Amino acid sequence: MSAKRAYHHGDLRAALIAASFEQLAECGLQRFSVAAVARRLGVSSAAPYRHFPDRDHLLAAVSAAAARDLGAAIVSAAEAAGTDPADRLAAAAGAYVRYVTRTGAGLPVIYAPELARVPDEGRREHTRALMTTMLDLSGATGTSTYHDTVLLLEATIAVAHGYTSMLAEGFFARRVDDIADRAVEAARSLNVRRT
């Protein structure tokens, strides 16, 4: 359901966040604008500012929701992957591809540098929880040091984000699930090479 159909003069704040995800999925972070979100909802360009003082505050709310939802998607994918720690970590790469392709809100949105100056403890809590989940999945693979855990996590994220970016740029003419599966295979191979 589009954000415009979901909004009927009810919870404008929630509708703005939902419409922001749609806008991000279509145009990305660099071209994201509050005015475009307002147009999508059919409200005045001033209406969003009753709930968010500026673009960064709206994006901070989107970032918090994205970190929370992406974290949940990663946990669900890891649980579905079974008990092998390498498979669980690799499943996170596929979850990332699916989530970001659907919402447009990947790590560049969740960790957008301009959001660091927005005082939002809820967003910080969700972003910390997301990285803790990823670090736990990486560390469970048997890395010998924290440094190795971080390197494996970085490589896994790079694989996932790379596949997501290439899909968004039209490099792949395949279904999202096929690309997500490729990201899982590539992420799994990182751990195989390490052992």
CA atoms within 13 A on the CB side of 164: 25
Distance CA 94, CA 110 (A): 18
Q: What is the residue extent of each domain of the chain?
A: 1-52, 54-194
54-194 CATH = 1.10.357.10
Q: pLDDT tier at 24 (50, 70, 90 boundaries)?
A: confident
pLDDT in tens, 122-171: 899 999 999 999 999 999 999 999 999 999 999 999 999 999 989 888 89
- What pTM was computed for the model? 0.85
Expressed in percent and rounded to 5, the helix, strand and coil fractions of the chain are: 75, 0, 25
Distance CA 171, CA 162 (A): 11
pLDDT of residue 9: 54
- Tell me if 71 sits within 8 A of 126, measured CB to CB: yes
Number of Cβ within 10 Å of residue 142's Cβ equals 13
Domain 1-52: what homologous superfamily? Homeodomain-like (1.10.10.60)
User: What is the greatest pairwise CA distance in the chain?
Assistant: 57
Examine domains 1-52 and 54-194 and report if their fold is the same. no
